[in-house]
Structure 1
Amino acid sequence: MSELQMRVSDEDRERTAQRLQRAFSEGRLTHLELEDRLEIALTAKTYGDLLGLITDLPDEQPPVSDVIELESKNGHLKRSGDWAVPRRLRVTSKYGSVELDLSEAVVIHPVVDIELDLTYGSAKIILPEGGVANVDAFQSDWGHAATGDVPSRPRPGALYVVVSGRTKYGGLTVRYPRKRWFTH
């Protein structure tokens, strides 16, 4: 029996369905094509059935790691620009500050968990416009946790960041990017 004739699992069907949905969101498939292919993907019996649905799509990029750990004893930890955000980010900093700018980052997960372990430092998280953040699980002994005008409840289609952890003497600020004013 060839590999194409082998039976697929529910996980194989779901993985193909997710790939088709990504292709639709990238503009590679029309809504009708997506519906037709999803119907076949969810009822596929063999790898050959699934392969026929994705052969005209480009190969996928390697997946972003599920968990990334960043650590610093006394330096400034900063991520900004075009960087890949994992589903779970663990950040440890004893004396330094942390700045995580998600406004231009590649975020493929609808929910991102950020766990902060800060002793004397503070953290700033910059969300893309429309993103939301829940900081209820973050504790600050002698500091603050400020979210300003950033909502904390999940919203359909919006990035949802859940911040947990603690700081002894620092604080946490979650905000949107600063508006740039141009003069002519």
Structure 2
Amino acid sequence: MTQDMSPRISDDDRDTAIERLQEAYAAGFVTREEMDERLQVALTARTRGDLVPVLASLPEKDTGSTVAIAARGGRIQRRGGWRVPRTLKIESEFGKVELDLSRAIIDYPVIDIELRLQYGRARIVLPRNATVDYEGLGAEWKQPVYQAPRRGSTGGPHIRISGAMEHGRLKIRHRRR
């Protein structure tokens, strides 16, 4: 009978593997079905060898990561409990961009979003307690529309939006209730 001589893993090792898997899912590297399958393996893993298939093909964890998403047409959409990277670069020629940060996992006090729109439109929904600065965003055709909250908000992340919009439109608002 062959025994696995790999050292046993701790709860911290298991939690780290699960966190990497969730980050890969949020960034679009694995599908929901793959994540569910890998989560089951990670939750029952006893050795480092058991975690190998869970972590196979996942990007290395980078705490200050930059994620770039580009589309010629179509839709770029992030919503729900996705993990927001420190820097997010979005480029869209003709499509629609929807970034809902209101329920997202935001680990950084400052988030930079570099937005490049040619002919599309974008909408960014902020958490209620977030602040925003979009003065670094150049607009040739229409200026961004920002709906400020009725009450001043503090204590949340600061979102800095920069980049360029040729004939695109951007609407920024805070989450309602």
Q: TM class by shorter-chain length?
A: 0.5 to 0.7
Distance in 1 (CA, whole Å) between partners of 2:159 and 2:105 is 14
Unaligned runs of 5+ in 1: 1-54, 180-184
CA-atom RMSD in angstroms: 2.5
The amino acid across from 1:163 in the alignment is I
Paired residues of 1:131 and 1:150 also in contact (CA < 8 A): no
Match runs of 1:29-108 below 5 Å: 59-60=15-16, 61-62=19-20, 63=61, 66-108=65-107
Q: Percent identity between the aligned chains?
A: 33
CA distance in 2, matches of 1:75, 1:57: 40
Q: 1:170 offset after TM fit, Å?
A: 1.5
Contact 1:116 1:165 in 2 (8 A): yes
> 1:165 matched to which residue of 2?
163
Task: Work out whether residues 154 and 160 of structure 1, in 8 Å CA contact, stay in contact via their aligned partners in 2.
Answer: no
Structure whose residues are more often strand by fraction: 2
Deviation string for 1:29-55 (max 9, x for gaps)? xxxxxxxxxxxxxxxxxxxxxxxxxx9
How has the CA–CA distance of structure 1 residues 154 and 139 changed in structure 2, closer, same or farther, with 3 Å as cutoff? Answer: farther
Rg larger in 1 or in 2?
1
- State the 1:136 CA deviation: 0.4
Unaligned runs of 5+ in 2: 1-9, 21-60
**Aligned counterpart, 2:48:** none
Q: Which residue of 1 aligns with 2:23?
A: none
Residue in 1 that maps onto 2:53: none
Q: Specify whether residues 154 and 134 from structure 1 end up closer, same or farther in structure 2 by C-alpha distance, changes over 3 A only.
A: farther
Report the Cα offset of residue 65 of structure 1: 6.0
Q: Cα gap change, 1:75/1:56 in structure 2, threshold over 3 Å: closer, same or farther?
A: closer
Q: Alignment length, in residue pairs?
A: 123
Task: Tell me the CA shift for residue 126 of structure 1.
Answer: 0.5
How far has the Cα of 1:171 moved from its partner? 1.6
**One-letter amino acid of the structure 2 residue matched with residue 167 of structure 1:** M
CA gap 1:178/1:84 in 2 versus in 1, 3 angstroms: same
Matched-pair contact (CA < 8 Å) for 2:142–2:169: yes
Q: 1 CA distance for matches of 2:156 and 2:107?
A: 11
